[in-house]
Structure 1
Amino acid sequence: MAGRMWTLVGLLCMISGGGALAAGPRGGPPSTSDSTRHAAFDRLLEQFVDARGDVDYAALQRQADSVLAPYLQALADTRPSMLDREARLAFWINAYNAYTLKLIVDHYPVASIRDIDGPPGGGTPFERPVGPVADTVRTLDEIEHEIIRERFDEPRIHFALVCAAKSCPRLRREAYTGAQLDAQLDAQARRFLHAAPKNRIPDREGAIALSRILKWYGGDFGPTPAAIQRALAPYFEGSVRDSLAQGAYTVRYRPYDWTLNASSLDRGDGDPERAAGP
């Protein structure tokens, strides 16, 4: 009798999620881990993105059917509503970046993403349908503005979404995952804000020169230039941090370089060692 009782207890534990046969959400198959879900994108980014965050689009275009298309299919089949908040946000950031790559390789060679036509009837390439995510055909604008910015109160996404331009944040050489998302977004923010071609903090006495991303989406960081500075302060040290925290700087915004974020090897205008530099 006692043996049968312990057997029953063990089975109940496994069914309730304590054993290896734990069911996925809503009684479905075992859950896919976040790292497994984005493993194919991890491999793609490691292979085709250099240490500067630039992309070898020519090589990616040649192999897109085998290395990009399967991941895009996985994005189409995933139901992000089944994921926790961090995993959902990571999913949509990866979807934006992956479909930006697809948009470029589908039209490569181009000098800029803005050289690609928008949808019929007019508009920008960001309004052009790019493919299915979560079983619905999306545009890049929909993913960024109607999903990510609308549903997630997270201004650091502006340091992670990469629209294939030189003035964009650098494309990370790994996929975003829910478990690592906070650390990844913090690293992206620090990297972007300290990149002299994009931001100069400080620029000259009493002034800073910021990326236009912080002008276009300044409201996501705060309602005033002083509030934006306070949002940036944690990524700096010493007197610069203090001045930002006080909103003490005069702010100007830098021109935006829409040149394609193609690697030097892709463009044929750099040597391999320099292209792989920091």
Structure 2
Amino acid sequence: MRKIFLLLSLTFFINSFGQTSVFNTLLKEHVNSTGFVDYKKLQKNEVKLDSYLSYLNKTTPQRNWSAAKTKAFWVNAYNAYTIKIILDNYPLKSILNIKKEGKDAWNIPFAKVGGKTYTLNHIEHQILRKNFNDPKIHVGVNCASGSCPQLGNFAFTEANYESKTNNLMKKFINDSSRNKISENDVQLSKIFEWFKGDFTKKSSLIDFINKYSNTKVDAKANVSFLKYDWSLNGK
């Protein structure tokens, strides 16, 4: 019995690793170093994306998974299904143009995981944000838009989740097209306004920015928020 359990566990591990590798390869081949996505080229490899989505539909996250493994799984699922809904409606200028029965892209129930159907909003807000006190989730999940933190050209794993999200947060905060930071004045992405509570549970917003910013911001600096660019992060 123990041998059967070990065999099943090994089979699941190999399948999980293989499918995550498929998604990793897709991102590496179709997303550049600044997060720009070649959706037209990606459409030609959509069968590989569908293979990964099929794996997600057959896989139920387990309670004994580590936090890093669980977050990596759900962030990958969010990003894979975001890409899928873009491809299903491509070409388009913005994810905001996607509508179905009066619902926007984030509220359409189409993301299948473990035999259940979710919306993108449910994955982000009811699973990731609700269950994990981790503001770096906001640079993990990607809204396929110009002002969104760049989409990484890699899949998240249990081993790389912390280091990759740390790197993405540092890139995001120091990207002058998304945040404009000086010692006495910071103009931040709307993400820091919309989800301020996620970034200020342990300290102030400026304290959080200073953890990653190349420029040291004064505690009394003026804070404002930039207009959000919803144009598609690709051609």
Same fold by TM-score greater than 0.5: yes
Cα deviation, 1:136-190, whole Å, max 9, x if unaligned, reads 1111101101111011110011112111101111111110011111101100100
* Identity rate, percent: 32
Q: Tell me if structure 2 keeps the 8 A contact 1:61–1:106.
A: no
Partners of 2:69 and 2:4 lie apart in 1 by 19
Where does residue 69 of structure 1 map in the other structure? 50
Consecutive unaligned residues of structure 1, counting only runs of 5 or more, are 1-14, 16-20, 268-278
Q: Structure 2: which amino acid aligns with 1:228?
A: L
Match of 2:192 among 214, 222, 226: 214
Match of 1:107 among 89, 92, 111: 89
Q: Structure 1: which amino acid aligns with 2:199?
A: F
Q: Tell me if structure 1 keeps the 8 A contact 2:142–2:151.
A: yes
Where does residue 80 of structure 1 map in the other structure? 61
Q: Tell me if structure 1 keeps the 8 A contact 2:76–2:155.
A: yes
Q: Secondary structure at the match of 2:232?
A: coil
Consecutive unaligned residues of structure 2, counting only runs of 5 or more, are none
Q: Structure 2: which amino acid aligns with 1:252?
A: S
Q: Secondary structure at the match of 1:186?
A: helix
Q: Tell me if structure 1 keeps the 8 A contact 2:173–2:213.
A: no
Partners of 1:47 and 1:67 lie apart in 2 by 12
Q: Secondary structure at the match of 1:129?
A: coil
Where does residue 258 of structure 1 map in the other structure? 230
Question: What is the Cα deviation at residue 35 of structure 1?
Answer: 4.3
Match of 1:133 among 110, 113, 116: 113
TM-score, normalization: structure 1? Answer: 0.78
Tell me if 1:241 matches 2:221: no
Match of 1:196 among 176, 179, 185: 176
Match of 2:206 among 213, 224, 229: 229
Q: Tell me if structure 2 keeps the 8 A contact 1:234–1:241.
A: no
Partners of 1:109 and 1:236 lie apart in 2 by 36
Question: What is the Cα deviation at residue 85 of structure 1?
Answer: 1.5
Q: Tell me if structure 1 keeps the 8 A contact 2:184–2:217.
A: no
- Of structures 1 and 2, the larger Rg is shown by 1
Number of residue pairs matched? 231
TM-score, normalization: structure 2? Answer: 0.91
Quick one: structure 1 residues 141 and 158, their matched pair in 2 at CA, closer, same or farther if it must change by over 3 Å?
same
Partners of 1:83 and 1:73 lie apart in 2 by 20
What aligned pairs does 1:111-122 form with structure 2 within 5 A after superposition? Answer: 111-118=93-100, 120=101, 122=102
Quick one: structure 1 residues 29 and 251, their matched pair in 2 at CA, closer, same or farther if it must change by over 3 Å?
same
Q: Structure 1: which amino acid aligns with 2:210?
A: A
Q: Tell me if structure 1 keeps the 8 A contact 2:210–2:216.
A: yes
Quick one: structure 1 residues 29 and 178, their matched pair in 2 at CA, closer, same or farther if it must change by over 3 Å?
closer
Partners of 2:8 and 2:44 lie apart in 1 by 37
